[in-house]
Amino acid sequence: MQVSEVNDIKTYNLSKGKTIPEWLSDRKRRLLLKKDVDLRRRIQLIQDFDMPTVSNTVNISPDGQYIIAAGVYKPRIRCFDVEQLAMKFERCLDSEVIKCIILSEDYGKLLLLEADRWIEIHSQAGFYFKTRIPKSGRDIAYNPATCDALFVGNSSEIYRLNLSVGTFLKPFETNCSAMNVIAINPEHNLIVVGSQDGFVEAWDPRVREKVGTLDCALESLRNDPAKVSEIPSITSIKYRDGLTMGVGTSNGQILLYDIRANKPFLNKDHMYGLPIKTIEFLDGPLNLVATLDAKIIKLWNRNDGTPFTAIQADNDLNMLAAYPNSGMMFVANESQKILTYYIPAIGPAPKWCSFLDRITEELEESNENVIYDDYKFVTEHELEELGLHDLIGTNLLRAYMHGFFIDMRLYRKALEVSKPFVYEEYRKQKIKEKIDSERIDRVQITDKLPKVNRLLAEKLITAEQEQEEKKKRNKTVKYKPNPLKDDRFTALFEDPNFEIDETSDEFRLLNPVLSRLTKNDSRKSTMVDDDNEQTKPIYADIFEEDDDVLNDSTTDSDEDLIFDRKNKEKDEMKNEHENFSDTDDDDDGEDDDDDDDDEDDQEKSIVQKRTMKTKLYHLKSGKTYDDLYSNHNKKNHHHHIDDQQVERQTFEQRLKRVEKENKNNRLLQGSSGGINGNRIMTFVPKQQRKTKLDEEDEQRKINNNNRQIEHRKQRKKLVRKTTGLKFNKNVF
């Protein structure tokens, strides 16, 4: 069931919902009903209320107990019993049904107008009589006073068939070239026919003469004659009572006449320009008229034409039948299902489906959240940006969840005021995108990295290369997909809105360790650069550098390093959240900055300690210590020491003398100068720690030795002595 609301009037489409295929067995149908929730919740008002392909007509019996529907293909009629909510019978025909009339109170007598000029009469038992009319028929009517069946079609004559005698009577001659519809007034039996020329002629069956003519085409052209390209024809006629008559035209207009006047008292336009197929005067105090064309059903007031509601369907509509004294109507259309609509505002549900009232009341009581197209949902932060924060609490904003609904017109005006250049930026962006798309055809420099998130793409490419190298060595390595090659992540590397800002607070909160490591890498690189610039080795032309030797801080055990790393990650995550929580307190802002500076200093010292390396140098080939001393004396001419005295000094004494002579030169101080570091280094080598593996190996060796010793002892005990054995010398 589908609920639609037009002009605050709810309409329930009882035919909307999933259907079960006919070719499924009963067992599969039951299984499908168990699995599919929508199928279980659907409302199937009348079982098999449909046609194989298309439904052409639908009629309700005068007693209201039976519904007769006709359709194709193969041409057939179906009778549905509303008391049983199921189909009573089905009869197949030779030709397609154009119109159907129920002659009795129930389904006992049916009169069918078919294509190819055929007329069929059916009784309660089945087919009863079949004949043809001279011209192709378009509509039929039945006069119960004379038992005459009247036929109009592609002819100027009104054919009469007396069903009591079973013979054709003399037809009525009209001035029309062809006629589309015919109707008989239920009060005084006045016959009216609608012609293809736009005229309505009235005939009195008592005198068998024409008694009046209405030029409906002229009246329909008075509203807007400029839009009319041809003379409209009459497509439908319906009587409400003895005086009121409705006429529908091919250009989508409905004219309401009082038969005592030649001018319509109301002209209603459907605004679609499609022929009006059905006009129904609904019962009730609302004085409503239901009119149908191929696209829409409109309900409006017959006194002033005020629209009440409207119903639109997915397929073209053919015919409308309103159930008496209720809000239910059936619609034949260009689809398999015969549509069933229920409008509680018009009237209650029929007696045979009174449960619909309870269902609709429950649906109205349930609170359902509806999102409207003419409203925009905004958060409180967006209201502040638009300058509409003061509207909170007024009727211009409707609170909903974590934000508000605002009228789209007000939102657009506020957006234009707060951001006047948004359209220009959008226009420039679109122009840039179009230019970039045209540049694709030109010769381009191939770049593996995308324009957006280049750092992330570089990491992914590096990881993929490492994975390929591992896979070459070990084929059992599991494959890890690369988002760069997945179409689902294309926008991540093309749309600037997905750019990852690693400096943002949100990124630091979500990835504190990753952001801190990125900072440490940048600090390391800057520190190394600063060291290279500030601490240049002295006597670089005399000494050359040996391999680096790591400091003692790097000789810790693996367990200590892992433990320190885990503790450091925990501290980093804790510090990140503490930093963000402390920023809300204005009084402690300066203290937080000091703490951050202290933490940065500590991190710098840790990084320096971890990255510190001892440099070893040796004299280049062909160089002696005299070259070092001569190079130093170039800057210190006032200090002169005999060469023999220098040769008798130890290396330590020579370095101390250089330091003493260059107290003002920081680079030559023993603490930080010299050949990129201290000239004298004393250390005590630490005894290597025995790991658990080494201890286990030693214990295993001891156990093996003990086993071998025990084994030898046992072998010695089991050896048998040969002293008691006697040998026979004559054996050989």
Write down the domain spans for the chain.
141-276, 375-422, 448-500, 505-580+599-614, 641-685
> Is a pLDDT exceeding 60 seen at residue 216?
yes
Angle among Cα 409, 413, 414 to the nearest 5 degrees reads 115
Beta strand 234-239 with 209-215: parallel, antiparallel or unpaired? unpaired
pTM for this structure? Answer: 0.51
Window from 199-208, 224-233, 402-411, 436-445 with minimum mean pLDDT = 436-445
Average of per-residue pLDDT across 695-715: 84
Quote the DSSP letter at residue 2: E
Number of Cβ atoms within 10 Å of the Cβ of 498: 12
CB neighbour class for 65 (10 Å; exposed up to 12, middle 13-18, buried from 19)? middle
Average pLDDT in the chain? 76
- Residue 167's CB is within 10 A of a number of other CB atoms, namely 9
Confidence of residue 257 (pLDDT cuts 50, 70, 90): very high
Is the separation of the CB atoms in 98 and 151 below 8 Å? Answer: no
Mean pLDDT to the nearest integer, 138-148: 92
On the 0-12 / 13-18 / 19+ scale of CB atoms within 10 A, 300 is buried
pLDDT score of 235 more than 90: yes
Fold of 141-276: Methylamine Dehydrogenase; Chain H (2.130.10)
Q: What is the DSSP letter of 168?
A: E
pLDDT category at 442 given cuts 50, 70, 90 is: low
Q: Looking at the DSSP assignment, which residues form a beta bridge with residue 192?
A: 183, 202
The tokens for 442 are 């030109």
Place of tokens 């023999």: 644
Given a cut of 90, whether residue 184 has pLDDT beyond it is: yes
pLDDT of residue 641: 55
Handedness of CA 598, 601, 605, 611 (dihedral sign): positive
| Cα–Cα distance for residue pair 157/215, rounded to 1 Å | 19
Residues contacting residue 671 through CB under 8 Å, at least 6 positions apart: 678
For position 248, what pLDDT does the model report?
94
pLDDT at 219 over 60: yes
Q: Which two tokens stand for residue 356?
A: 């619909």
pLDDT bucket at 236, cuts 50 / 70 / 90 = very high
Task: Please state, in angstroms and as integers, the Cα–Cα distance from residue 143 to each residue in 21, 87, 243, 671, following that order.
Answer: 43, 29, 18, 127
Q: What is the pLDDT of residue 386?
A: 84
Residue 61 near residue 107 (C-beta atoms within 8 A): yes
**Could you read off the pLDDT of 505-546 as tens digits, one per residue?**
777 666 655 555 455 555 444 444 444 444 444 555 666 665
pLDDT at site 643: 60
Q: 468-495 pLDDT, tens per residue?
A: 877 777 767 676 777 777 878 888 888 8
Q: Crossing angle, helix 558-582 and helix 512-534, to 10 degrees?
A: 110
β strands within 479-600, DSSP E: 543-545, 549-550
**Mean pLDDT, range 289-308, rounded to an integer:** 92
- Alpha-carbon distance of 554 to 706, in angstroms, equals 39
CA neighbor of 525 nearest in space, from 463, 611, 615 = 611
Q: Which two tokens stand for residue 358?
A: 């309870």
What strand order describes the sheet that includes 148-153?
Answer: 137-143, 148-153, 157-162, 167-173
Under 8 Å CB-to-CB from 14, ≥6 apart: which residues? 1, 43, 45, 340, 341, 342, 356
What tokens does 216 get? 């409906």
Q: How confident is the model at residue 497 (pLDDT cuts 50, 70, 90)?
A: confident
User: Which residues lie closer than 8 Å to 97 by C-beta, 6 or more apart?
Assistant: 56, 57, 70, 71, 75, 77, 112, 113, 114
Spatial contact of 13 and 2, defined as CB atoms under 8 Å apart: yes
Extract the tokens encoding 490: 């294309």
Chain centroid, CA 450 distance in Å:
27
Q: What is the pLDDT of residue 518?
A: 55
Reported as half-sphere exposure (CB side, CA atoms, 13 A), residue 677 has a value of 12
CA distance linking residue 474 with residue 703, whole number of Å? 37
Q: How far apart are the C-alpha atoms of 464 and 452, rounded to whole Å?
A: 19
Q: Which two tokens stand for residue 653?
A: 């004494």
**Which tokens is 389 given?**
């924060």
Q: Is 731 strand, coil or helix?
A: coil
Asked whether the predicted pLDDT for residue 181 surpasses 60, the reply is yes
Rounded alpha-carbon distances, angstroms, from residue 29 to 20, 21, 22, 32, 87: 7, 8, 9, 5, 20
Beta-strand (E) ranges in 47-178?
A: 54-60, 66-72, 76-81, 86-92, 97-102, 110-114, 118-122, 127-132, 137-143, 148-153, 157-162, 167-173
Give the largest CA-CA distance in the chain. Answer: 164
Over residues 343-363, the pLDDT tens digits come to 988 988 888 888 888 887 776
* Residue bearing the bigger pLDDT, 347 or 573: 347
Chain centroid to Cα 380, Å, comes to: 25
**Residues 579-619 pLDDT 10s:** 555 554 444 444 444 455 554 555 555 545 444 455 666 66
Q: How far apart are CA 721 and CA 696, in angstroms?
A: 41
726: confidence class by pLDDT, cuts 50, 70, 90:
low
Percent of the chain with pLDDT over 90: 24
Name the packing angle between helices 589-611 and 512-534 (round to 10°): 60
Cβ partners under 8 Å of residue 52, min gap 6: 71, 72, 73, 74, 76, 336
E-state strands within 146-198: 148-153, 157-162, 167-173, 179-184, 191-195
Q: Who has greater pLDDT, 112 or 470? A: 112
Q: Is residue 347 within 8 Å of 326, Cβ to Cβ?
A: yes
Which residue, among 376, 362, 301, 541, has the nearest Cα to 1 in the 3D structure?
A: 362
Contacts of 266 by beta carbon, 8 Å cutoff, 6+ apart: 255, 256, 302, 303, 304, 305
pLDDT of residue 414: 86
- Is residue 3 predicted with pLDDT exceeding 90? no
